[in-house]
Amino acid sequence: QLSRMADEVERLCGVRPRGAWLAERVWEPSLAYDLAAAGYEYSVLDDNHLRGAAVRDEDMWGTYVVDDRGRMLTVFGAEQGLRYLIPWRPVPEVIGHLRSHATPDGRRLGIMGDDGEKFGAWPDTYEYCWGAAGWVERFFSALEAESGWLTTVRPSDWLDEQPPLGRIAVPASSYVEMTEWALPPADALVFHELLADARRRNDPAARFLRGGTWRAFQARYREINELHKQMLRASAAVAALPEGDRRLRAQDHLHRGQSNDVYWHGLFGGIYLADLRVAALAELIAAEDLAAGGQVATARADFDLDGLDEVLLGGPGQTLLIDLAEGGAIGAWDLLAGRLPLASVLRRRPEAIHARLKAAVEAGTAGPASDQPISPHDAVVVKEPGLERYLVYDRHERRSCLVHLLDPAVAAGLGAAELSAEEFDDQADLAEEPYEVEELTEGRLVLRRDGAVHPSGPRRDGSAGGDGGWPVTLIKRFELGGTRLSPELALKAELRNRGDTALETELDLEWAFQMLGGGGNPAAWYAVPDDAAVTTRTPHDGSGDVAGVDRLAFGNDQLGVRLEALLEPAARVIWHAIETVSNSEGGFERVYQGSALHLRWPLVLAAGATASVGVRFSATQDRDRLEEETRGFADKTPADQRGGASQRLHPKAGRKPSRS
């Protein structure tokens, strides 16, 4: 990737780059080798990196060398003061800061490396930087006026003319804000206050304070970890390809799927932006699909590297990743022809910025944007009043095919609003607990859980309730079919009452779907027959509640994807949007993550009796992007030529689930 980027820059600009910018300045010691091996001589780090290498503040103004496995790299240190001053503070203040650090020998170098967006892309910054306020023009005029003691230089020229200040070892790190964002919310708040207090007191120990590491995002967010592991699977598949058109095209998709934004989040969206998340996953789906030539594997392994097995269930034109240890539910459901990650829906969870929003609302300081540019680090701007009402957090991961058992006495009153607000009690232990594999063959999986219903008490905290439990067994049967352009998934849930008296309950089968329906997107829709059997389209980010439904559909016309669901027996159907509250360049806002679909059946089971409910999803896709992309390839595979898909069963398929 590094070499191809250098080739492209040289082709476009006529000069081969000697330095590389680190995405979000995320540094690991092994990068010294990777960058140098790709032909790069330098990169830019923050003062936070250098403090981690025991460089004193007065020694930040220059270059240092690092090495790894026999390769050396020069690193420039970007001083935080310049990052925070430019362009937010008056030009004389910036010049004064530089003057205070100047030395008679002229061997101090100030580097400012930061987001280009703050020079015109963030709200109000264009007029401030380039319009009547003219900050950029005044800044460069000041540089010219002060050229007697303040000169500008290209990093590569400094590299040629000045020796490094020393050799250091930089630990894994990033800029200090990133190390704060990587922490769990409660810890991030403590770290933020601790660092702010130390800085206010000019405590010399502040330089030793640092938070978490960037890889912590993979540990904290199931969605990021699964994205990362899917990327690694795609990378391995692409690396195994022989040289040729297919490998080059698959590599393009892989590199796009490695775009860093959705592998973390900070002050702004990152993984919280559904369009970026879906775009990255679509590229990884494309890379794997190209590498496999349309073939789909069924396998059982620890795909997310959490010490527990998952099942990757493959069928014509689709793959499902099913987590055995957490509800036997679908964490990923990818349509291959249209390259759509159907199940890419983010869990609503607490974030440190939510505390900042709540505090501003309580203090009365949260409001709409002003006409004065201000750093997003400093302002609490809200795009609509009452955002704090939407700070609702999910009790479990946003997977599909989750089974809840509800108290029939209150189930009638649990509609879209109550489900969205998580204001319901799941009386069973079937949604988050482990399942055993009863059968795994090509395109077919049968799971079993022996659980219990606890009618005497709420289980929002995950506790077992106040009684011994009512023994039940739940069987989930997944079966894949159809064709590459029209794949099908049939799911049957069988609930058996193992108790010695009758059981009355309401089974709620919960799904999470991604159709990029945010903002009332007219291309994304639901179509559910109403009580008069009239079917009309409604926005995918809306809500609804209809009883007696035996079929429904949803899709996205722009993506050319449509799903039809047949329910057996007819069910009450409830759907609602899943929205988080996130910050953005323009302020705090609601962000659409996907849609929750609940299928509900009231059940009465005599002692020893079994009841079955089910749904069959049939997808249609307008285009097969693999077929389009490989049309001119010289290295076609048999699967490309026949337009079909084959499957193979992993040799471990018969193993029982294990817990580490």
State the catalytic residues: 24, 115
Pairwise CA distance, residues 99 & 480, whole Å: 69
Name which of 110, 113, 152, 122 is nearest 27 in CA terms.
113
User: Are 482 and 580 spatial neighbours (Cβ–Cβ below 8 Å)?
Assistant: no
Long-range CB pairs of 648-654 (<8 Å, 24+ gap) are 648/295, 648/297, 648/298, 648/442, 649/298, 649/299, 649/440, 649/441, 649/442, 650/297, 650/298, 650/299, 650/300, 650/301, 652/299, 652/300, 652/301, 653/298, 653/299, 653/300, 653/440, 653/441, 654/437, 654/440
User: How many CB atoms neighbour CB 384 within 10 A?
Assistant: 11
Q: Which two tokens stand for residue 496?
A: 């058996």
Name which of 400, 445, 406 is nearest 424 in CA terms.
406
DSSP 381: B
The amino acid at 244: G
In Å, what is the CA distance from 552 to each residue of 100, 213, 575, 592, 600?
69, 45, 11, 22, 14
**∠ CA 536-537-543 to the nearest 5 degrees?**
105
Pairwise CA distance, residues 430 & 541, whole Å: 27
Pairwise CA distance, residues 171 & 449, whole Å: 46
* Full DSSP string of 521-573: -TTEEEEEE-TTS-EEEEETTS-EEEEEEEEEEEEETTTTEEEEEEEEEEEEE
Please report the sign of the dihedral spanned by the C-alpha atoms of residue 50, residue 53, residue 56, residue 58. Answer: negative
H or E segment and range at residue 490: strand 487-497
User: Are 527 and 545 spatial neighbours (Cβ–Cβ below 8 Å)?
Assistant: no
Q: Length of the chain in residues, anyone?
A: 660
Q: Which two tokens stand for residue 390?
A: 């939407």
CA 497 to chain centre: 39
**∠ CA 566-569-572 to the nearest 5 degrees?**
85
Dihedral, CA atoms, 523, 529, 530, 535, nearest 10 degrees?
A: 50
User: How many CB atoms neighbour CB 154 within 10 A?
Assistant: 10
In Å, what is the CA distance from 376 to each residue of 177, 186, 486, 584?
13, 21, 46, 8
Q: Helices marked H in 308-405 — which ranges?
A: 352-363
H or E segment and range at residue 312: strand 310-315
DSSP 643: T
User: Are 616 and 566 spatial neighbours (Cβ–Cβ below 8 Å)?
Assistant: yes
DSSP 86: T
User: Are 168 and 126 spatial neighbours (Cβ–Cβ below 8 Å)?
Assistant: no
In Å, what is the CA distance from 619 to each residue of 25, 108, 344, 485, 566?
42, 63, 17, 8, 12
DSSP 346: P
SS3 per-residue string spanning 13-68: HCCCCCEECCHHHCECCCHHHHHHHCCCCEEEEEHHHHHHCCCCHHHCCCEEEEEE
